[in-house]
Structure 1
Amino acid sequence: MIDGLKPYSDYKDSALPWLGKIPAHWTEKRAKYFYREVDERSTTGTEELLSVSHKTGVTPRPKHVTMFKAESNIGHKICRSEDLVINTMWAFMAALGVSRQVGVVSPSYGVYRPIRMGELHPQYIDRLLRIEAYKSEYLCRSTGIRASRLRLYPDEFLRIPILSPPPEEQSAIVRFLDHADRRIRRYIRAKRKLIELLNEQKQALIHQAVTRGLDPHIKLKPSGVKWIGDVPEHWEVQRCRYIFREVDKRSLDGSELHLSMSQKLGLVPSHQVDNRTLVSENYAGGKLCEVNDLVLNRLKAHLGVFSLARNDGVISPDYTVLRAIDICGVEYFEHLLKSPACRYELRVRAKGIVEGFWRLYTDDFYDIRLPVPPAEERNQIVARLAEIVADCEVVCTRADRECDLLREYRTRLIADVVTGKLDVREAAAQLDGQVVEEPSKRRSAKQPNKHFYRSVLAAEIVDRHQGERRFGRIKLQKALVLAEYHLQLTEIQSDLKRAAAGPFDNAMMRSIDAQLKKQKWFEAYKSEDAGYQYKPLKKRGSHQTYFDRYWSSKQADFDRLISLLKPMRTIQAEIVATLYSAWNDFLIDGEQFDDDRLVAEVLTNWHPKKERITRNRWHKAIQWMRDYELVPTGFGAHTQQATKKVKK
């Protein structure tokens, strides 16, 4: 990417000490020579309300965000395309950006309009003014009685020197950095997918080992337990009460090593856990555990927050300590209990009447049935799984580190290019004939319509679910609903109906199917046993360039959402999407409600077929959504009743 890039041949000193030398042919003038402050006010308040963030720049303000929102936008400042907007109080964090549209912003923001259009390329200046060095300059020039009240006033901003390469060179810089950014994002995306696939493979291998053993040719028998399936013929299936016994031994003075539970690290010495809350001054009376005891955080055991103890020590008195009756190969049971299939069993058995405080009690844990191989075979399985986990962690850790280094590299590359440390003119000229439009032309550029946005999002969801036997059109619609509303994707604009398998937008799904086929990404087909599914076409994967362009800032949240959706059966996705939409409707309407009213809403005001799902299942799903923070905010449009009458 940077092969052959060299510094410019001739440099001169910059007016900014931290900037050092700049290319000799670049100009450097105070901001007042490029921008003038404007204070144009809205008289109707009908313009779109925009916000300014250090992460996203100038973007439409989500409709659900009501904090500090005025009753009327009349009197707000108007900004226009290519105006520079600065959040005065957060300028030192680079909370600024170049607007791409007409809108209104807070009256306290600074709006600066180019004096001569086309002199500064919007994307160049947007990148330049966001580099770390400029952040330091804003901090130095901001005034206030304390850090939280610092403000960058217009006269101070307009005194800051701004670098200005020749216009054609700015276009070359933008062109090169756009190209570099796309490549870096694609590489990071590939690494994320690698990590995701490796973790899926690890879980599949663990599940295979703990329920089938290591011999693929072993004769199997039915276990009698749905989530386990068939097991080797010589294995037993036992309830946990015959595998573990609860122990309740207490510390007299609390002098033992204090251990804390972490979902990521397991049960470890407290000093290894960051940001601990509710730290006790005295651990006298705490429960004692020994090496290889299974310790459960009863409040979060159904979320997988439990671990074998690697140290003797003292723990919270609210934890459950379980000691294996046969200690041989006890790690086998930890792997088994943490498998996704068994995690669902733990969630089903968790109980509680107070929201957010569901507990897994010992008697309920005792009732869970587990496959039990002979002791020697358990040891063999544990040894093999240790190898699998170690191999996976090595690759995933390396991939994570590579992603971090790429982000750091991108930040440094942008800073070096926009400040003239590297000359990219020749590299930009060799880029596949791609053209970066001049600012004056870009304003009239045609934007993608909602149908294309939808198809790109759908293609990404389908691509992430390739190989999933139970994934089809119905689950795709639920994933689209959750992605649009939870990630606040304003481009999708679905029109959701309260249908039998709703929320559902039939017109949108027909449009998506047509677009997927037209773009040669995927084609919908009728399978024999799973309804409509999707098969890849020859251009599968080419949608990713568009996905990165539209929603790169949402990538981490999208990854998390997909990780929650992939293990779900279609009916589970329907339950969650239905609850999410009904919950969101209540928030939009500003109505008070509790869990009972939410369940009543989907059972009585949605569609008669929702009654096939038990109330208990709806309630458990609500708690699951809270546990995994899949909770609506009142974003987007209200669902509508289906227009067709239901046949009785």
Structure 2
Amino acid sequence: MRNDSQQWKQYPKYKNSGVEWLGMIPDGWNIFKLKRMAEINISNVDKKTELNQEKVLLCNYVDVYYNDYITNKLNFLEATATKEQKKRFELKKGDVLLTKDSETWDDIAIPACVETDLDNVLCGYHLAHIRPHPNKLYSKYLFRAISASGLKEQFWVAANGVTRFGLSKSSITNALFPLPPFSEQEKIAQFLDKETTKIDNLINKKQRLIELLQEKRTALISHAVTKGLNPDVPMKYSGVEWLGMIPESWVVSKAKLISSIFVPQRNKPDLNTVDGVRWITMENLISPSINLSLSGYFVSQSALLQAGSKVLPKECIIASCVGNFGIASVNLIPVVINQQLQAYIPNKQKIDIWFFRYFITSSKIYFELVATSTTLVYVNQTSFGELPTVLPPLAEQEKIAEYLDIQTQKIDNLINKTQTSIEYLKEYRTALISAAVTGKIDVREEV
């Protein structure tokens, strides 16, 4: 992958494409409608099993959405199909599959390329099956062209719908693409395979770094709130298996003895976007604290009275009680919380709220052990109160919380910096594909 200071060269000569939104293309290239260069069919093979049909495997929407290339390593769905459907939709090397329906318009026209003949594997429902004409349209070039910024938008514009969007067959068949000579299509595809592989490898390494940093963050918090900051203090067994050893001067209590458990009312109040008491859901627990700068919904005084909602006073620890445990925030303002949350109203003479928050985030294992499952994995009020809680001296709690504030901020800064670099690489990847398939750069000598 080149540095920003290195420039890909351009073609020696350009001409007007005749398509306003495409602009100039290299001399020797043409513009084509997809139907002139490929056979296109909309799949009608669904995942149902019919007794009078033949057993097949189905490449479905998710397979295409999450994979650039369709191979025999994927776990395809079992289904049935007619002989005619098998003849029309069985996957062959070089086929291009396209998502044609989605709940959001920007998930329309996600392509994938079939790497090899896949016997008895059919293109599934909600997909378009495209088979390029041999020696005219190179499948991997088409795959890249469909996903290119500046070309894929024509599908978004053509998509119809309000709550669900879909592409008609005609909007696919009439899609316009630049067409280099066939040998040049091959070189462009080879170049993009090589360069995107480099970029993807870099992205994977950075994503792995983020995972390691998140693991380090979790371990740091867990160690600090259960072992303290001084590695030389005498230790004792806590009496709680998942807590293990704790400093000798610490005691183990229960959350209900150092706080009150707050459970919201069952009735959801009417919400508004103007004024009232802030309405808090699990999605709002993304930062250590909740304050006035938070955007979202409010509950008016009249709505509070009508629903019988209780207001949680400020400086409590709000925690998830459904599904994803170990998420917690301190509310710096009064709030109303929804049914997926409960809260601890701490006795500040016994526990520092910020230390308590860190301890709750490190207690995921406890909540998972006591959770009950019906339709949702849930921790009830009693189990919330039974949480074994370590109690260092109050001054030590404050020091631990201050230490964790500093150290977790350092890790968070590294995570954010790495995430920003990943977004840059993704943007560069998108721009490179677009530049290559529209002829903005000449890559013929790069492979």
Aligned equivalents of 1:264, 1:390: Cα separation in 2: 14
> For residues 315 and 140 of structure 1, do their structure 2 counterparts lie closer, same or farther at Cα, with a shift above 3 Å needed?
closer
CA contact (8 A) 1:57 1:95 kept: no
CA contact (8 A) 1:259 1:269 kept: no
Aligned equivalents of 2:324, 2:177: Cα separation in 1: 56
Question: Which runs of 5 or more residues in structure 2 are unaligned?
Answer: 46-51, 266-270
Q: For residue 212 of structure 2, give the secondary structure of its aligned residue in structure 1.
A: helix
Aligned equivalents of 1:40, 1:221: Cα separation in 2: 66
Q: For residue 17 of structure 1, give the secondary structure of its aligned residue in structure 2.
A: coil
Aligned equivalents of 2:391, 2:379: Cα separation in 1: 25
CA contact (8 A) 2:312 2:337 kept: yes
Deviation at 1:157, TM superposition (A): 5.0
Q: For residue 426 of structure 1, give the secondary structure of its aligned residue in structure 2.
A: coil
Deviation at 1:228, TM superposition (A): 2.0
Measured against aligned partners, the alpha-carbon deviations of 1:330-356 in whole angstroms (never above 9, x if no partner) come to 3112211221xx32223333457x442
Aligned equivalents of 2:317, 2:42: Cα separation in 1: 65
Aligned equivalents of 1:266, 1:17: Cα separation in 2: 50
2:367 corresponding residue in structure 1: 346
| CA-based RMSD | 4.2
Correspondent of 1:151 among 154, 160, 168: 168
1:361 corresponding residue in structure 2: 381
2:93 corresponding residue in structure 1: 81
For 2:182, give the aligned amino acid: P
2:430 corresponding residue in structure 1: 411
> For residues 183 and 279 of structure 1, do their structure 2 counterparts lie closer, same or farther at Cα, with a shift above 3 Å needed?
farther
Deviation at 1:22, TM superposition (A): 0.8
Deviation at 1:427, TM superposition (A): 2.8
1:15 corresponding residue in structure 2: 18
CA contact (8 A) 1:12 1:23 kept: yes
Deviation at 1:95, TM superposition (A): 4.8
Measured against aligned partners, the alpha-carbon deviations of 1:168-207 in whole angstroms (never above 9, x if no partner) come to 3323222221121111111111111111111111122212
Deviation at 1:130, TM superposition (A): 2.7
CA contact (8 A) 2:149 2:431 kept: no
Aligned equivalents of 1:365, 1:39: Cα separation in 2: 52
1:292 aligns with 2:315: yes
Measured against aligned partners, the alpha-carbon deviations of 1:440-495 in whole angstroms (never above 9, x if no partner) come to xxxxxxxxxxxxxxxxxxxxxxxxxxxxxxxxxxxxxxxxxxxxxxxxxxxxxxxx
Measured against aligned partners, the alpha-carbon deviations of 1:69-90 in whole angstroms (never above 9, x if no partner) come to 7x53332124543345566667
Deviation at 1:147, TM superposition (A): 7.5
> For residues 45 and 270 of structure 1, do their structure 2 counterparts lie closer, same or farther at Cα, with a shift above 3 Å needed?
farther
2:145 corresponding residue in structure 1: 128
Correspondent of 1:371 among 390, 393, 396: 390
Aligned runs of 1:51-70 on 2, under 5 Å? Answer: 51=60, 53=64, 56=67, 59=70, 64=77
> For residues 302 and 368 of structure 1, do their structure 2 counterparts lie closer, same or farther at Cα, with a shift above 3 Å needed?
farther
Aligned runs of 1:280-359 on 2, under 5 Å? Answer: 282-284=303-305, 285-297=308-320, 299-300=321-322, 303-315=325-337, 319-326=342-349, 329-339=352-362, 342-350=363-371, 354-356=374-376, 358-359=378-379
Percent identical residues: 22
> For residues 22 and 383 of structure 1, do their structure 2 counterparts lie closer, same or farther at Cα, with a shift above 3 Å needed?
same
Aligned equivalents of 1:85, 1:176: Cα separation in 2: 21
CA contact (8 A) 2:258 2:351 kept: no
Aligned equivalents of 2:207, 2:126: Cα separation in 1: 40
> For residues 62 and 286 of structure 1, do their structure 2 counterparts lie closer, same or farther at Cα, with a shift above 3 Å needed?
same
Deviation at 1:211, TM superposition (A): 1.6
1:382 aligns with 2:397: no
Q: For residue 133 of structure 1, give the secondary structure of its aligned residue in structure 2.
A: coil
Measured against aligned partners, the alpha-carbon deviations of 1:145-173 in whole angstroms (never above 9, x if no partner) come to 997465132xx655554323233332322
Q: For residue 200 of structure 1, give the secondary structure of its aligned residue in structure 2.
A: helix
CA contact (8 A) 2:317 2:331 kept: yes
Measured against aligned partners, the alpha-carbon deviations of 1:483-515 in whole angstroms (never above 9, x if no partner) come to xxxxxxxxxxxxxxxxxxxxxxxxxxxxxxxxx
Deviation at 1:223, TM superposition (A): 2.4
Deviation at 1:358, TM superposition (A): 3.2
2:48 corresponding residue in structure 1: none
CA contact (8 A) 2:40 2:130 kept: yes
1:423 corresponding residue in structure 2: 442
TM-score norm. by structure 2 comes to: 0.76
Measured against aligned partners, the alpha-carbon deviations of 1:363-399 in whole angstroms (never above 9, x if no partner) come to x444433221112111111110000111111111111
> For residues 326 and 261 of structure 1, do their structure 2 counterparts lie closer, same or farther at Cα, with a shift above 3 Å needed?
farther
Correspondent of 2:180 among 165, 171, 184: 165
Deviation at 1:410, TM superposition (A): 0.9
Q: For residue 423 of structure 1, give the secondary structure of its aligned residue in structure 2.
A: coil
Measured against aligned partners, the alpha-carbon deviations of 1:280-336 in whole angstroms (never above 9, x if no partner) come to 971234333333223345x43982244332223444588444222416633112211
> For residues 179 and 219 of structure 1, do their structure 2 counterparts lie closer, same or farther at Cα, with a shift above 3 Å needed?
same
2:268 corresponding residue in structure 1: none
For 2:20, give the aligned amino acid: P
For 1:101, give the aligned amino acid: D
CA contact (8 A) 2:255 2:387 kept: yes
Deviation at 1:21, TM superposition (A): 0.6
Question: Which runs of 5 or more residues in structure 1 are unaligned?
Answer: 429-648
Aligned residues: 412
2:412 corresponding residue in structure 1: 393
2:8 corresponding residue in structure 1: 5
Aligned equivalents of 1:335, 1:110: Cα separation in 2: 50
1:27 aligns with 2:49: no
2:251 corresponding residue in structure 1: 236
Q: For residue 303 of structure 1, give the secondary structure of its aligned residue in structure 2.
A: coil
Deviation at 1:32, TM superposition (A): 5.0
> For residues 320 and 72 of structure 1, do their structure 2 counterparts lie closer, same or farther at Cα, with a shift above 3 Å needed?
same
CA contact (8 A) 1:128 1:415 kept: yes
For 2:12, give the aligned amino acid: S
Aligned equivalents of 1:113, 1:229: Cα separation in 2: 61
For 2:312, give the aligned amino acid: C
1:101 aligns with 2:123: no
Deviation at 1:133, TM superposition (A): 2.9
Aligned equivalents of 2:281, 2:126: Cα separation in 1: 46
For 2:93, give the aligned amino acid: S
For 2:25, give the aligned amino acid: I
> For residues 23 and 373 of structure 1, do their structure 2 counterparts lie closer, same or farther at Cα, with a shift above 3 Å needed?
same
Aligned equivalents of 2:132, 2:393: Cα separation in 1: 77
Q: For residue 184 of structure 2, give the secondary structure of its aligned residue in structure 1.
A: helix
> For residues 383 and 148 of structure 1, do their structure 2 counterparts lie closer, same or farther at Cα, with a shift above 3 Å needed?
closer
Measured against aligned partners, the alpha-carbon deviations of 1:575-608 in whole angstroms (never above 9, x if no partner) come to xxxxxxxxxxxxxxxxxxxxxxxxxxxxxxxxxx
Q: For residue 22 of structure 1, give the secondary structure of its aligned residue in structure 2.
A: strand
For 1:22, give the aligned amino acid: I
> For residues 88 and 194 of structure 1, do their structure 2 counterparts lie closer, same or farther at Cα, with a shift above 3 Å needed?
closer
1:596 corresponding residue in structure 2: none
Q: Which fold has the larger relative contact order, with Cα–Cα distance below 8 Å and residues 6 or more apart in sequence? A: 2
CA contact (8 A) 2:56 2:81 kept: no
> For residues 280 and 409 of structure 1, do their structure 2 counterparts lie closer, same or farther at Cα, with a shift above 3 Å needed?
farther
